[in-house]
A and B are shown apart, each in its own frame.
Chain A
Amino acid sequence: MEELHKSPAYPDRDRLYKGPIAIIECIEEIPCNPCEAACSNGAITIGESITNLPKMDFEKCVACGRCIPACPGLAIYIKDYTYSDTKALLSFPYEYYPLPEVNDIVEAVDRHGNTLCQAKVIKVRNPKSNDHTAVVTIEYPKEYFEEVISIKRIK
């Protein structure tokens, strides 16, 4: 987590809690740049050398979610702390079948796959342009805002 907070793509605490925001967990210099072009607002910059880390301009990010399925590393998600009084929102990439369905109650997990809480599926988007990387949106209790990263695979 410490490494993550140092990354030029991770928002500071104020921004993270201010409203919907795309977060890129990409902290290694690997040769990759599709996220840069995926953002139509020019919020993500890699630059000339494709091993640069992505930089996020948090003022330009409108949390549209186009970068989520574009990242080959499945390392981008959107979080919204302000979703409701008690619930936060997370949109994340999901590449397992079966896909969850809207209103399903699923288990929300942290970066090590530990179940932290239950979550409700709000939206599942899997258009052809996503090339089989579905984007799932869940609402979950605010107290787990930072830790929750995905859901347990549905078998």
Chain B
Amino acid sequence: MIQTELAIVGAGPAGLSAAIEARRAGADVLLIDENARPGGQLFKQIHKFFGSRAHKAGTRGINIGTELLRESQELGIRTCLKGEVCGIENGQNLWVVIDRNRSEIVKAKKIILATGATENAVAFPGWDLPGIMGAGAAQTMINVNRVLPGRKVLMLGSGNVGVIVSYQLLQAGADVVAVLEAAPKLGGYGVHTAKVARAGVPFYVSHTVKQAFGTDHVEAVEIVKLDASFNQIPGTERIMEADTVCLATGLTPLTELAWLAGCKFKYLPALGGHLPIHDDRMRTTKENIFVAGDITGIEEASTAMEEGRLAGINAAADLGYISEEEAKIRSREIWDSLNCLRSGYFGQKRRESKDLMLQTGNEVIQWKIH
């Protein structure tokens, strides 16, 4: 058995930021991640981030990841890599399978779940052919493992993931034959879309993939136009040659551990579906368990880092390392920054949903600071 004051599940931007804040305050922290390397998705984000100058905007995600790792190493944060958390009980025991061949019980006084999200898939005839993959998987191949998944890529989904990965595939030397969007208008930030458009990539709104063809690998794709109710319009099919299809069709929060722990949930579609209820200190309805990052709703690394800091500070306060007063002041500053990140046309819906979440959370979460 491993004992720790604070166990953090997930070493992405939220988990790392939480660990750094809590450790800096003096807490004993164990950071657990199922991957061989910490950093979550940061190391494949080779583009410069938006956001505020005060919060590393203009810096490439990979460099933010390196910086967070350096800080966590300097602080001597313990990490358990290749550790899959498969169980959680009583809000304090974690069952961790390490290296897929042994398991450990981690006993923690406080737990922060920063498990992130997983890519959504869409199914169509032929979707199981090799060469058809999540956009995030393609991004890992090119930016982390430096392997080009194919030469002619069709991207399904024009949200930020779709356009960012399209751009990075171009940078890696592939051609993007088209970006399809099922909705009648494009989803990503205009500046990301513009980069891909001026590279000559065509965008098709109200279009989806009808089927994919190939023997041992995708070779061509039949695309089709959609009506206002997202039904395929017969007769509008056309064939496109492609050796890779990337699915950038949204993300779903990885909430299994929160369900397993007995946290109460709230359904907020704008943030990605069923989400563990949390308050403005990132506490869940289950005593001793906090959440941060995409598990609380699909957003961006910038918001995940701020939420992680909130959870880290408040968990440390809960453990007695930070005074109630200081935790309040620092939390308020972080909320100001989060509200800023969630303003504007793109942030407004997320902001409204977050406000609903906090309203519920602040009402129902009563567990006391010890």
Contacts and interface: CB of A to CB of B under 8 A. Distances in A.
Contact of A110 (B48, B173, B198, B345): B198
A73 B346 contact: no
Interface in A19-59: 25-34, 36-37, 49-51
Interface of B: 47-53, 57-60, 63, 170-171, 173, 189-192, 194-195, 197-201, 302, 340-347
A124 interface: no
Contact of A30 (B189, B195, B199): B189
Contacts of B58: 34, 70-72
Contacts of A70: 58
B201 A113 contact: yes
Contacts of B341: 31, 50
B198 A30 contact: no
B200 A111 contact: no
B197 A111 contact: yes
18 contacts: A25-B191, A29-B343, A29-B345, A31-B52, A31-B340, A32-B50, A32-B57, A50-B52, A50-B341, A51-B345, A74-B191, A109-B198, A110-B198, A112-B200, A113-B200, A131-B59, A133-B48, A150-B198
B361 to A, nearest CB: 23
Count class of interface residues, chain A: 35 or more
A95 B53 CA distance: 21
Among A27, A30, A33, A150, residue most surrounded by chain B Cβ atoms (within 10 Å): A30
Contacts of A49: 340, 343
B191 A153 contact: no
Contacts of A73: 50, 189, 191-192, 194-195
Interface string A123-134: 000000001110
B343 A113 contact: no
Interface of A: 25-34, 36-37, 49-51, 70-75, 95-97, 109-114, 131-133, 149-150, 152-153, 155
B43 to A, nearest CB: 15
Contacts of A95: 171
B198 A31 contact: no
Contact of A112 (B49, B198, B343): B198
A28 B347 CA distance: 11
B49 to A, nearest CB: 6
B170 A28 contact: no
Nearest to A110: B198
9 smallest CB-CB distances across A and B, nearest first, come from A113-B200, A73-B191, A51-B344, A29-B344, A72-B48, A34-B58, A32-B50, A75-B191, A51-B343
Contacts of B194: 25, 73, 75, 111
A51 B191 CA distance: 14
A133 B59 CA distance: 11
B50 A111 contact: no
A28 B200 contact: no
B54 to A, nearest CB: 9
Given A34-B57, A72-B50, A112-B197, 6 more contacts: A31-B342, A50-B343, A51-B340, A74-B191, A95-B171, A113-B200
B150 to A, nearest CB: 16
A96 B170 contact: yes
A91 to B, nearest CB: 15
A26 B191 contact: yes
A26 B52 CA distance: 16
Nearest to A50: B52
Contacts of A74: 191, 195
Contacts of A152: 200
Contacts of B189: 28, 30, 73
A58 B344 CA distance: 25
A114 B200 contact: yes
Nearest to A76: B191
A131 B48 contact: yes
Contacts of B49: 72
B194 to A, nearest CB: 7
B346 A30 contact: yes
B53 A31 contact: no
